[in-house]
Amino acid sequence: MKTLATAPKFKAFAHVEVRMSVWGHTAEGVAVPIYTLTSGKTEVRVTAYGAKLVSVRTPDSTGKVADIVLGYDRLEDYLNDNDTHFGSIVGRFGNRIAMGRFSIDGTQYQVPQNNGTNALHGGPMGFGRHVWQAAEVPGGVEFTHVSPDGFMGFPGTLTAKVKYTLSGNTLRLDYSATTDKATVVNLTNHAYFNLRGDDQGDILGEQLQLNADYMTPVDANLIPTGELASVAGTPFDFRKPTVVGLRIGEANQQLELGGGYDHNFVVNGQAGTLRVAAIMTEPESGRTLTVETTEPGVQFYTGNFLMGVFTGRHGIKYGKRTGFCLETQHYPDSPNQPNFPSTLLKPGETLHSTTTFTFGTTK
């Protein structure tokens, strides 16, 4: 889509400071490190628990710095939150699998149903609930998690890696995975953003531009029907910058099913190539977020199920629509949708995926 600006390309890791400290311990006594990456005026914090993106501090157009990622200041709060997936790397299969069932080569597998009748984000003990191994790399940190054969019902011992690196105002996530048995994999990051600041209310006034001519409609269980539907003439058309809240309350079956936006968009361009998926702009602060990805899709989610239960930073209870997610991914329920890009990973193959988040301002 020609109207989308291209984010700055990722360059060398010049002037990036990486600091590590022990953030706390799990109930089993496992030490959990947290890493702080600093480049210029951008500061990013990531932790080995769930390989989570904990914090992004970045300036607005006047230079005022705020945290634009929803989350907590204490490890204990993440350990006690089984619902929001704040900042997590979700897997083995991010998003939903219908009935938690899928087949590979005639063998059926069952993942626990933790979202109504669906399996969501790898089941109740998905990747966001584990302490990953951590190793500092130039410009950042690489997390590794080994998921045993049969865990949460998935076949194959899977070794998953995600590398966070910061350069200037661009945060890059490089994913990889290998397996010793044919399996399905869909890795993404579940950060919630609020470009005004994580304590500044809802995100309905922010302006979104999505590089997507099509989306995947869902049924009453939020499982894709298998159709690729044109966004033209619908509340899902964000091909030009559009205020998020402008049409979110319209009488539209898809919006009603999701309680707002909770849908996969088909990113224009060739999957496997790094291209712009989305640009979000917050008019008041002037902050912008540009997302580029090699993935075929992106889930736009408007925090419809945040219910003010969990108290985040500043003593704020994160309520409905106080954060948005742009989860770069393969499409939901892909193992059961033969027309969707495949999520099958076989022994001898290596999954590779890259997503970048560039934090800027309009001035």
Of the residues 142, 282, 295, 327, only one is catalytic, namely 327
Under 8 Å between Cβ of 18 and 37? yes
Where helices occur in 85-223 by DSSP H, the ranges are none
The catalytic position among 190, 282, 292, 330 is 190
Phi then psi dihedrals of residue 90, to 5 deg: -100, 140
Distance CA 143, CA 161 (A): 6
Task: Map tokens 């994913």 to a residue.
Answer: 175
What does the alpha-carbon distance between residue 332 and residue 150 come to, in Å, rounded to a whole number?
Answer: 21
15 is catalytic: no
CA proximity to 67, closest of 194, 244, 190, 172: 194
> Which residues sit opposite 29 in a β-bridge?
none
Any catalytic annotation for residue 327?
yes
Terminus-to-terminus CA distance in the chain, angstroms?
A: 23
Distance of CA 86 to the CA centre of its chain: 9
Residues marked as catalytic: 190, 327
